[in-house]
Structure 1
C-alpha cells in the first residue's frame, strides 16, 4: 500500500474511542450511583456488560472481516458503537444503561479485530513493528485517558456526556475511515456457531458467578431454577455457576480440537510459543489495568474528597509518561528483545502498585501519591506494543484474522474477569473493614456496597475504607507478577530484525 499511515491514524482514532469506554465509566460511578439510585455492584455491571459484549464476538468478527471485508465490518461496528453511545447517554435507569452498553460492546467487538488485521496487511515487515507498537500503545493510552476524560466530563456537563462525546468522535472517525482506509481482498471462512454459543455461555456464567458471588455471600442465588412457569426445584449457587462456566469453557476448547470443519479458534495458532505467551501476558495486562482503576478512583474520591476530575487527574503522570514513551518503545522493538521490554514493564507496574498501596492512608500527601504513577506509566509504555508485535510477528497472513481475534479476545477476557473479580473483592474488603469499626462489629445497614456512598465518607471511616482499597490492589499486583513471569518465556521471533539475543 502506497500511503498506509493516513489509513493507520484513521483506524487508530476509532480504536482509541472504543477502548476509552472500557475505563471512562470508572470515575463516574459515585455520581451515577446517586443519579440512578442504584448500588455500586449494579453499576459495576455497566462496565462488565460492555466488556463481556465486547469479548464474546471477537473470535468470530475476525473471520467475518476476512469473509465480508475488514473495512465493511469496521464501518458497521463504528456506526453501531456511535449510535449505542447516544442510547447510553439517554438512558434513565441502570437497567437500560446496561442494555445500551451491551450494544455498544457488540459494535466495539466488530471493530477491534479488523484494526489489527488491517495493520498487518497494510504495512511491510520493515514498518510493521512501529505500526503495531502504535496500535498497542493506543490500547494502553486509551485505558489511562478514560478516567481523566470521564472526570472532566462528569464535573462539567455531567456523566451522560461520557457517552455523548463519542458521537462527534465517531462521526469524524467514520468519515476518515471511509476516505483513507483501503479495501482488502477477502478470504472464505466457515463459521463455528457451536463454538460461539459455548464461549458466550461459558464467559457469562464465569463473570456472573465471580462478580455476584459476594452479593449472595457465595451461597444460593435462588432456591430453584425457574424458566417461565417451569421450575426444576434445584438450588442455584454461586460456586455451581462458576464450575458450570469452567466446564462449558473446557467443552469449548475440546470442541475446537475435534471440530471437523474450520474451528473458531485454530489451536494450531498456539504451536507458536510467542503467540501463546503473548496471549497469556496480554490477558494479565487487560485485567491489571481494569482492576487497579476501581480502587484507586474510589480512594481518591471517598477518602481525599476529590471530585471526579481531581481523582482522574491524579493519574495524569501515568498517562503522560506512557504517551511520551510509546514512540520510543516502538523504535526499540526491532533492536531490543521484546521479552525484556515486557518483563520490565510488568515489573514496573508491580513495584508501582506496591508503593501506591503502602501510601494509601487518609493523610498521605497528594503530591507523594503522584510518584507511583510514574512507574505505572513506564510499565504501561513497555508492555502493549512489544506484546502485540510478539503475538503477530510469526503468524502467516492467512491466519491474521483468527490470530488478531484470539489475541484481542484474551485481552478482553482478562479485562472482564478482572472487572468482575475486583467488584467482589472491593465489596468484601469494604464490608470487613467497616464492620471492624462499627458498633458490635456489624457492617452498616445496606451492605458493603452502600458503605461507599457518594460524597466524602465520615472521617471515622476514612482509614478502614483506605485500607480496603489498598488491600484490593493486591489483585492487580498479583496479575502484574503473573504477566512478568509469562513474558520471561518470550522467545526469538522469526523476523527478529537487528537483535539476536535468544
Structure 2
C-alpha cells in the first residue's frame, strides 16, 4: 500500500508539471511580448515548441524506458525538464525561450508515459481505478488550470515564475523517485531503432505542419510538405508495425476495440478541449475585460472540477466500468462547449456562462479519471509502457490540431477584431469533436472495461497475432 501511495504522489507531481506547461504560457503571452518583443505569431511558438517535441517523442520516451529502465529514464526526464524550466525562466530573448520550451517538451515526453507505467506496476489491480482517478484529477487540473496559474503568476510576480515554479518541484521529485520507485523494464529490452525514426519523423512532420497553419495557411508549401512527409513516414511506420517481428508499436494492438476506441477518443477529446480552452481563456480577457487572474478565477467552475469529481469518477470506474464514466464525461463536455457557443456574445454575463463552465468541468473530470485506466486495461501488462506512450502521443497531436484548426477558423472569421462572433464556430467545432470522442468511446466493449487487464495467449509465430486481447 505504501509503495502505491509513493508512486501516486511522485507520478502525480511529475504529470502535473508536464501537463501544466501545455497551456500555462497562454495568458502570459502579452507580458512576454512586452519584455522580449516579437510578433504574436513568433510568440505562439512558445506554446507550439513545447507541443511539438512533446508529441513527437512520447512513444520514443516510452520505448527507451522499456529498454533502459523506466525509473532510470523517468529520472532523466525530470532532470531535463527541470533544467530546461530554469533556462526558460532565465531567457533574455525570444529565441532562447523557444529553444528552452522545446527541451522542456523532450523531458515531458519521457516523464509522461513512464509515469503511467510506473504507477500501474506499483498499484494492485483492484485499486488502479482510484489511483488513475486521482492522477487524472491532477493532470486535468494542470491542463485546464494552466491559464489561471500562468495569469496569476504573470500578473502578481512576473512571467518568469511560470517556469521557476517547476524547479523546486523537480528538485524534490529527483530523490523521491530514485529511492521510492522500483525499477522495471519492458519485454525483450530491445530498442526498435527503425520504428523510432519512422514514428518520430512522421509525428514531427504532422505536428510541425499544423502548428504552422495559423501563420502560413493550409495551402502553403511548408504546411503541405510537412503533412505529406509526415503521412508517408507514418504509413511506413504502420507497415513496419505489421511486418516486423517485435516492433515498438505492434499494429495488432489496434485490432482490439478497447485500444483503438480509447485512442480515437483521446485524440478527438483533446482536439476539442485544447482548441476551446486556448480561445476561451483569451475571450475572458479580450472581451470580458478581466485581468489574467480574474479570468482564471472565473474559469474555476471548469478548471477546478477535476479536483472534486475525478477521484469519485475513478471510484465509479472500479464499480460500474470506465467505459460508462468516460462516455458520460465526454457527452457532458461536448454539451458544455455547445452551451458556450449558444450564449457567447460581446455582452454575455458571467451567470450565463456558468452552466457551460460547470458542464464542461464535470465532463472533463469524468473523462480524465477512467481514460488512463482504460488504456492500461486494453493491453497486456508487459505492453502498458508503449500503450501509454501511444495514447499520450495521440492526445498531444489532438491538442496541436485543436489549436491549429480552431485557431485557423477563428482567424478566418475576423479573429481578435470581432472576437465574440469569430469564436462561435470554433466552439461548435470543438463540441462536435468531443461528441465524436464520445462515439469513439462507445466502440470500447463492455466486458473488460472496468479495469481488468487483457489476457495474454501463447505466441503464434512471426508475422501473426501473438497476443490476443480479450477486448478485441
Q: Which residue of 2 aligns with 1:274?
A: 258
Q: Which residue of 2 aligns with 1:146?
A: 146
Q: How does 1:257-406 map to 2 (within 5 A)?
A: 257-260=242-245, 262-406=246-390
2: distance between equivalents of 1:497 and 1:139? Answer: 19
Deviations 1:308-343 (A, max 9, x none): 111211210112222111111111112223222122
Deviations 1:28-49 (A, max 9, x none): 1222233332222222221121
Q: Contact 2:51–2:105 (CA<8 Å) still a contact in 1?
A: yes
Q: How does 1:182-201 map to 2 (within 5 A)?
A: 182-184=182-184, 187-201=187-201
1: distance between equivalents of 2:451 and 2:212? Answer: 48
2: distance between equivalents of 1:76 and 1:372? Answer: 40
Deviations 1:188-228 (A, max 9, x none): 422222222222332232233333235334444xxxxxxxx
Q: Which residue of 2 aligns with 1:468?
A: 422
Pairwise CA distance, 1:303: 1.3
The 1:183/1:35 distance shift into structure 2, 3 A limit, reads same
Pairwise CA distance, 1:81: 0.3
Q: Which residue of 1 aligns with 2:460?
A: none
The 1:253/1:365 distance shift into structure 2, 3 A limit, reads same
The 1:191/1:497 distance shift into structure 2, 3 A limit, reads closer
Q: 1:478 aligns with which of 414, 426, 432?
A: 432
2: distance between equivalents of 1:362 and 1:495? Answer: 44
2: distance between equivalents of 1:324 and 1:212? Answer: 37
Deviations 1:385-423 (A, max 9, x none): 222211211422221222222122212221222233233
Q: Which residue of 1 aligns with 2:5?
A: 5
Q: Contact 1:330–1:385 (CA<8 Å) still a contact in 2?
A: yes
Q: Which residue of 2 aligns with 1:212?
A: 212
Q: Which residue of 1 aligns with 2:230?
A: 245
Give the greater-gyration-radius structure (CA).
1
* Corresponding residue SS for 1:494: coil
Q: 2:442 aligns with which of 488, 493, 498?
A: 488
Question: Can you give the 5+ residue segments of structure 2 that lack an aligned partner in the other structure?
Answer: 453-472
Pairwise CA distance, 1:186: 6.2
Q: Which residue of 1 aligns with 2:107?
A: 107
Higher helix share: 2
Aligned length: 452
Q: Which residue of 2 aligns with 1:179?
A: 179
The 1:69/1:191 distance shift into structure 2, 3 A limit, reads closer
Q: Which residue of 1 aligns with 2:457?
A: none
The 1:495/1:163 distance shift into structure 2, 3 A limit, reads closer
Q: Contact 1:281–1:387 (CA<8 Å) still a contact in 2?
A: no
TM-score by length of 1: 0.85
* Corresponding residue SS for 2:423: helix
2: distance between equivalents of 1:334 and 1:51? Answer: 32
Q: Contact 2:129–2:451 (CA<8 Å) still a contact in 1?
A: no
Q: Contact 2:407–2:426 (CA<8 Å) still a contact in 1?
A: no
The 1:32/1:370 distance shift into structure 2, 3 A limit, reads farther
2: distance between equivalents of 1:475 and 1:118? Answer: 36
Q: Contact 1:269–1:275 (CA<8 Å) still a contact in 2?
A: yes
1: distance between equivalents of 2:186 and 2:355? Answer: 49
TM-score by length of 2: 0.90
2: distance between equivalents of 1:310 and 1:186? Answer: 46
Q: Which residue of 2 aligns with 1:14?
A: 14
Q: Between 474-483 and 34-43, report the one with greater CA deviation.
A: 34-43
2: distance between equivalents of 1:145 and 1:276? Answer: 29
Q: Contact 2:306–2:364 (CA<8 Å) still a contact in 1?
A: yes
2: distance between equivalents of 1:184 and 1:319? Answer: 34
Pairwise CA distance, 1:145: 1.7
1: distance between equivalents of 2:53 and 2:337? Answer: 29
Q: Which residue of 2 aligns with 1:256?
A: 241
Q: How does 1:62-77 map to 2 (within 5 A)?
A: 62-77=62-77
The 1:241/1:394 distance shift into structure 2, 3 A limit, reads closer
* Corresponding residue SS for 1:56: helix
Q: Contact 2:322–2:450 (CA<8 Å) still a contact in 1?
A: no
* Corresponding residue SS for 2:262: helix
> What RMSD, in angstroms, separates the aligned Cα atoms of the two structures?
2.1
Q: Are 2:34 and 1:34 equivalent residues in the alignment?
A: yes
2: distance between equivalents of 1:38 and 1:158? Answer: 18
Q: Which residue of 2 aligns with 1:424?
A: 408
Q: Which residue of 1 aligns with 2:467?
A: none
Q: Between 296-305 and 416-425, report the one with greater CA deviation.
A: 416-425
